[in-house]
Amino acid sequence: MSDSGTEAPAIPSADSLRRLAISESGFVFDPVSGHNFTVNDTGLVILRRLQQNQDFSRLLQELEQEFQADSSEIERDVIEFIGMLREFVEE
């Protein structure tokens, strides 16, 4: 659970995220599903940290510090991003 009381979303496994081919420009390809998508610089940061199997609450705290943004806004954006990942990444 994060500090705001929101339950952590179901994050694709670190193993499934690690197999993704990710370019520095943000192009992401899942060789299992064949799906591809593009992420911005912030999405790259989130994806790289999720690949390291980072705890959801810790991820939110670090992003809040790094981007100096409102915690509820970061949480909402990360939850939305994770939802997108679940659509495109095969477990």
**How far is the CA of 45 from the CAs of 33, 38, 81, 86, in angstroms?**
22, 13, 11, 17
pLDDT over 70 at 1, yes or no = no
pLDDT over 80 at 13, yes or no = yes
pLDDT of residue 78: 94
pLDDT over 90 at 44, yes or no = yes
| Closest to 8 (Cα-Cα) out of 55, 49, 65 | 55
Matching residue, tokens 């998508």: 37
pLDDT over 80 at 60, yes or no = yes
Average pLDDT, stretch 20-49? 93
What is the overall mean pLDDT for the chain?
88
Strands (E), the chain: 21-22, 27-29, 36-38
Structural domains in the chain plus CATH codes: 14-88 (1.10.10)
pLDDT of residue 33: 87
